[in-house]
Amino acid sequence: MSVRHFLTLADLGREGLLGVLRRAHELKRLRGTADHPRALASKSIGILMEKASTRTRVSFEVAIHELGGQAVVLAGRDMQISRDEPLSDTSRVLSRYLHAVIMRTHGHERLAELAQASSIPFVNALTDRYHPCQLLADLMTIQEHRAGGLKDLSVAWIGDGNNMAHSWILASALLDFELRLACPAGYEPLDEVLAEANALGGGRRVVTPHPEVAVADAHVITTDVWASMGQEDEKEARKRAFSNFCVTEELFALAAEDRLFLHCLPAHRGEEVAASVIDGPRSVVWDEAENRLHGQKALLEYLIRPA
């Protein structure tokens, strides 16, 4: 039986993604009830952290606990991979102890190499190229708060063509919605990610240097910090490049009347978003953050099959 990994949204495919979202809503309704499943009973799940985290670590630990499993939190700096043990060796060893590994790391190639040598599922909890678990929460939140759900959806991404932008690009192709990405010159998404989305065949994607073009009549406006972890030395240069890419009240008002604001957090008010927008009545960031838990529960159920 082949191993199911989750390195990008494309690993689920359209029907798999929609199925995980449906199950996430069910698990949210069942939370705290006697009917909540314990699909991970007697399972041990590794959480391998090579980058700092709040939402990722807490949501996955709680998800594993509430599904009846045991979380084994691993710090990369304390493991032999920090002393040049081959990634494939580490992966083979972990496969003998655990039932899955959730990893938050820097280079996507690092995660892919571990997954290739593994006989258990690897889950991308964030790399420098993709952040697919966050998209499960984002899409779930849109379904909860928008009357039309994901149908005829238009999303505006404002800011860096980063791992979040790349994950939105794949989501638009899988679920057939319009995505407009407003990025400063030199910070556009990778051409190969756009090409992968085009090969998947669905949706429509536009990259523009003009936030007003991206936002016009969009149903969802979303953004991210200007300098992510590992980019601290670029902070001042990025502030200059992104100075016209703040989601202000004026920009937000150009979107559709039923507009929603999303942010993966942490947020820097006054930089990528105005406080009045992220803390305003059309912001759903706290439901979005909670939905990390429910989306990841559904994902773990999907990936980890009964013994």
Domains, the chain, with CATH or none: 9-131+291-303 (3.40.50.1370), 134-288 (3.40.50.1370)
Q: Output helix, strand, coil percentages for the chain, rounded to the nearest 5.
A: 45, 15, 40
Percent of the chain past pLDDT 90, that is, above it, reads: 91
Band of residue 2 on the pLDDT scale cut at 50, 70, 90: confident
The rounded distance, in Å, linking the Cα atoms of 278 and 257 is 16
Give pLDDT, residue 101.
Answer: 98
Tell how many helices (H) and how many strands (E) occur in the chain. 12, 9
Arithmetic mean of pLDDT, 186-201: 97
Catalytic residue selected from 5, 23, 134, 166: 134
- Cis preceding-peptide flag for 132 (omega within 30 of 0): no
131 is catalytic: yes
159 has pLDDT over 90: yes
Residues 121 and 3 sit within 8 Å (Cβ to Cβ): yes
Question: Pick the catalytic residue: 23, 104, 238, 294?
Answer: 104
How confident is the model at residue 182, as a pLDDT?
A: 98
Q: Are 4 and 32 in contact (CB under 8 A)?
A: no
Torsion of CA 216, 217, 222, 223, to 10 degrees: 10
Q: Are 287 and 55 in contact (CB under 8 A)?
A: no
pLDDT digits (tens, 9 = 90+) for 197-234: 999 999 999 999 999 999 999 999 999 999 876 677 88
Enter the DSSP assignment of 151.
T
What span, in angstroms and rounded, lies between the C-alpha atoms of 153 and 176? Answer: 8
Confidence at residue 307, expressed as pLDDT on a 0 to 100 scale: 53
Catalytic residue among 4, 219, 292, 294: 292
Mean confidence (pLDDT) of the chain:
95
pLDDT for 275 beyond 90:
yes
Q: What is the pLDDT of residues 227-261, one digit of tens each?
A: 876 677 888 999 999 999 999 999 999 999 999 99
Decide: 275 and 284 in contact? Cβ < 8 Å.
Answer: no
State how far the Cα of 121 lies from the Cα of 303, in Å rounded to an integer: 7
- Region 151-169: mean pLDDT is 98
Does the annotation mark 5 as catalytic? Answer: no
Residue 153: is its pLDDT beyond 90?
yes
pLDDT at 229: 66
**Annotated catalytic residue, options 180, 259, 264, 296:** 264
Active site residue 246: no
**pLDDT tops 90 at residue 113:** yes
pLDDT band of residue 80 (cuts 50, 70, 90) is: confident
Give dist(CA 289, CA 109) in Å, integer: 27
Which position among 55, 205, 224, 246 bears the catalytic label?
224
- pLDDT for the residue numbered 306: 65
Model pTM?
Answer: 0.96
Pick the catalytic residue: 131, 205, 238, 263?
131
CA–CA gap between residue 264 and residue 138 (Å, rounded): 8
Nearest-angstrom CA–CA distance, 199 and 183: 22
Pick 120 or 78 by higher pLDDT. Answer: 120
Task: Please write the tens of the pLDDT for every residue from 37-77.
Answer: 999 999 999 999 998 899 999 999 999 999 999 999 998 77
